[in-house]
Amino acid sequence: MFPLIDIHTHRPEPGTTCIRNIRLQGTFPAWPETDLFSAGIHPWDAAEAQEGWLETIPADHPRLLAIGETGLDLRDGYAPRDVQEKWLAKQTDLANRLRKPLVVHNVHATEALQTFLKRRAAVPVLLHGFTGSPETAGQWLRQLPGVRFSFGPAVLRSPKTQKALQWIAMAKPKALFLETDDAPDVDLREMYNFAAAQTGLDTDRLADLIRQNFNALFPNIPLR
């Protein structure tokens, strides 16, 4: 059995193939030597973000797989929408230039993000922590046919998100991923076992599907 894939995590788990997300916040960490990673300015940090932060991302690092997470979070308490959109645009342009997928955070901003990404993104978009309904997933696919959906710990407790997982597994299985995000008490294998039960797939079959999806999204980092 090959290692399970965690497409987006802040807590790399030994024995898995994961993409560790690095959130730029002004104090820059040493870039990973062994982990695959993504890097970007989170919408939550948009108010404090400074010109030059994105320039610290090592564009030629062989383990940099994606840009982000970026996106929009339109709840009260975060940066104004125009400030978030500024950093979303900068990171989308960076992803386009580097030809790297874009990891997107979306809270209460589905239509705004669809309009923006349809116009601006020239690379694959990964919706991390997707919590929408099957109808919302279908709307995304109509607007961005190549979009990918990553289901995180919320799927363990949300019937709506479980229905979306089931729908994606049937209607667009090549767009399906799983993640642990920043949950401290969620085991990746638990995620796979739960998703397999929800979709009617054997856990090994689901793991193989996600591995194939990973190879399609990141053809320069093939996993066997």
CA distance 158 to 132: 10
Beta-carbon count within 10 A of 37 CB: 22
**pTM for the whole thing?**
0.96
Please tell me whether 105 is known to bind a ligand: yes
Q: Which amino acid is at 5?
A: I
Evaluate whether 46 touches 28 at the Cβ level (below 8 Å): no
Beta-carbon count within 10 A of 183 CB: 16
Model pLDDT for residues 143-189, shown as the tens digit of each residue: 999 999 999 999 999 999 999 999 999 999 999 999 999 998 899 99
In this prediction, residue 29 carries a pLDDT of 66
CA distance 130 to 64: 22
CA distance 74 to 63: 31
Assign 162 to helix, strand or coil: helix
CA distance 164 to 181: 18
Phi then psi for residue 147, to 5 deg, are -65, 145
Confidence of residue 32 (pLDDT cuts 50, 70, 90): confident
Model pLDDT for residues 37-89, shown as the tens digit of each residue: 999 999 999 999 998 999 999 999 999 999 999 999 999 999 999 999 999 99
Could you tell me the domains of the chain? 5-217 (3.20.20.140)
Assign 126 to helix, strand or coil: strand
Q: Which amino acid is at 165?
A: L
Phi then psi for residue 190, to 5 deg, are -60, -40
Please tell me whether 128 is known to bind a ligand: yes
